[in-house]
Amino acid sequence: SQQGEEDPQALSIQEGENATMNCSYKTSINNLQWYRQNSGRGLVHLILIRSNEREKHSGRLRVTLDTSKKSSSLLITASRAADTASYFCAYANSNSGYALNFGKGTSLLVTP
């Protein structure tokens, strides 16, 4: 499989805490992306980090990329109940014409 791997598979935290999710991948990449999926809905793009970037911020989101370790992390600061969702990393795979391949996701539960 060319899929990336997110870690952990599931994460449960309380409102106000930070949530960190990790993603590992197997090939060289142009960029790595993170998506969120609320239950029963389509995926929504959160952030894209290019291979020449090491860190990127968007609101309460911080993404890091370590191409030497083929890994990325997504940090959500000051989590809210509305952040409850599944989070997926995605990267382009040269074996599939640089179409995006998705990991299996991290299921995040934020309790009040």
Partner 1 sequence: NAGVTQTPKFQVLKTGQSMTLQCAQDMNHEYMSWYRQDPGMGLRLIHYSVGAGITDQGEVPNGYNVSRSTTEDFPLRLLSAAPSQTSVYFCASSIRRNEKLFFGSGTQLSVL
In the complex, the residues that contact partner 1 under the rule CB under 8 A are 1-3, 30-31, 33, 35, 40-45, 48, 88, 90, 92, 96-105
Angle (CA) 22 43 59, round 5°: 60
Residue 13 in contact with residue 19, Cβ under 8 Å?
Answer: yes
79 versus 86: smaller Cβ distance to partner 1: 86
Q: 77: which residues sit within 8 A by CB, 6+ positions away?
A: 18, 60, 61, 62
52 versus 112: smaller Cβ distance to partner 1: 52
DSSP 68: T
31 versus 77: smaller Cβ distance to partner 1: 31
CB atoms within 10 A of CB 58: 11
Q: Cβ 103 to partner 1, closest distance in Å?
A: 6
Q: Cβ 22 to partner 1, closest distance in Å?
A: 15
Q: Cβ 21 to partner 1, closest distance in Å?
A: 14
